[in-house]
């Protein structure tokens, strides 16, 4: 029986992962060119994690199954500069100066719906499961599985093992499909500090740990991360955006944080919190969903997969400017 990616991920989740590092290279896998971005070891075997620069899908590969040619990040960016992945990286680099909401904040403008992102910041409260059960019941006739992006923190995963298992059950039952977004490991926050010294900009933050330990923790839970990253509090500066891009990751902001009173429009990247700490945003989202019931039934209002929303935009270079602030 061929080893499927799902099996590989499940195998990894039972092993101790070591030597988890950033590693750049190129290989052929499943008939496609794949850019390798990470390597790791588990139970004496080596693995790579790569990204298809055209579809933005990530994949997990056994190192023994591919011929990997090492290559610098600079050279990869130059060689694949016309792909949606490298175009998104390059554009994010040029738009990294705002203190809040750097990166992609809007999807493909011709969309007849939204891309939903749900943040799972550290929390003592359980996952707000009603978000998922409502989506499944509203979209069961028109979109199955329902695409959702989940921005997850290391600390949330460790204290919500049951909720993560429940989400994986929904994925295996093809009820939802998840783009797993890195939301850092610790998600440090102080209510008293100004934004420029808060969240990931807090003095003493180990950005390497915040990025890589979250990825490793996702793998240990059988989850394959995407190339997307959400800054805690949506707070960043030019320096941390540049560091992040050097890991091959793309920052995702929002143009519709519902609990802050922002409205969702066609193509919006909507943000709600699913960690029990933002009941207002969830309530607003459920009200919006009910209001769209008729349009959903007629397929006039859809949910978009974050990977495809970004991909479509960068294949359509003429409207690129609408994506970023």
> Which stretches of the chain bind Zn ion, using CB under 5 A?
119, 121, 232
CB 184 within 8 A of CB 232: yes
Select 233 or 246, whichever has its Cβ closest to Zn ion. 233
Provide, rounded to whole angstroms, the least separation between the CB of residue 232 and Zn ion.
5
Considering the complex, what minimum distance in angstroms separates the CB of residue 298 from Zn ion? 34
CA distance 302 to 313: 17
Type and span of the H or E element at 115: strand 113-120
Which of 34/270 has CB closer to Zn ion? 270
CA atoms within 13 A on the CB side of 113: 25
Question: What length is written for the chain?
Answer: 325
Residue among 121 and 258 whose Cβ is closer to Zn ion = 121
- 222 or 274, CB closer to Zn ion? 274
Shortest Cβ 281–Zn ion spacing (Å): 12
Cβ of residue 151: shortest distance to Zn ion, in angstroms? 7
- Could you tell me if 181 and 234 are in contact, meaning their C-beta atoms sit under 8 angstroms apart? no
Report the C-alpha gap between 183 and 229 in whole angstroms: 6
Q: Which two tokens stand for residue 189?
A: 């926050």
| Least Å from the CB of residue 241 to Zn ion | 17
Whose CB is nearest to Zn ion? 121
Question: Would you call 283 exposed, middle or buried from its count of C-beta atoms within 10 A (0-12, 13-18, 19+)?
Answer: middle
Of 163 and 313, the one with the shorter C-beta distance to Zn ion is 163
For residue 320, count other CB atoms closer than 10 A to its CB: 13
């Amino acid at each position: 029986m061929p080893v499927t990616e799902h099996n590989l991920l499940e195998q990894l989740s039972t092993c101790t992962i070591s030597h988890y590092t950033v590693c750049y290279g190129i290989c052929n896998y499943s008939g496609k060119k794949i850019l390798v971005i990470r390597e790791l070891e588990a139970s004496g075997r080596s693995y790579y994690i790569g990204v298809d620069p055209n579809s933005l899908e990530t994949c997990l590969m056994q190192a023994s199954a591919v011929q990997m040619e090492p290559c610098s990040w600079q050279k990869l960016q130059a060689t694949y500069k016309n792909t949606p992945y490298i175009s998104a990286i390059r554009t994010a680099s040029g738009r990294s100066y705002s203190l809040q909401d750097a990166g992609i904040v809007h999807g493909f403008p011709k969309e007849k719906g939204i891309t939903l992102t749900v943040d799972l910041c550290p929390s003592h409260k359980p996952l707000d499961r009603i978000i998922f059960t409502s989506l499944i019941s509203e979209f069961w006739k028109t979109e199955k599985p329902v695409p959702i992006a989940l921005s997850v923190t290391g600390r949330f995963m460790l204290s919500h093992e049951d909720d993560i298992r429940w989400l994986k059950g929904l994925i295996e039952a093809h009820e939802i499909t998840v783009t797993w977004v890195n939301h850092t490991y610790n998600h440090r926050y102080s209510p008293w500090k100004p934004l420029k010294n808060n969240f990931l900009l807090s003095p003493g933050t180990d950005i390497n740990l915040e990025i890589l330990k979250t990825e490793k923790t996702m793998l240990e839970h059988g989850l394959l991360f995407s190339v997307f990253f959400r800054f805690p509090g949506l707070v960043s500066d030019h320096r941390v955006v540049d560091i992040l891009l050097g890991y091959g990751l793309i920052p995702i902001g929002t143009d519709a944080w519902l609990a802050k009173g922002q409205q969702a429009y066609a193509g919006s990247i909507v943000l709600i919190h699913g960690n029990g700490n933002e009941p207002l945003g969830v309530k607003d989202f459920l009200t919006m969903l009910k209001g769209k019931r008729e349009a959903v039934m007629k397929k006039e209002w859809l949910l978009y997969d974050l990977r495809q929303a970004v991909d479509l935009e960068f294949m359509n270079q003429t409207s690129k400017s609408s994506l970023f602030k």
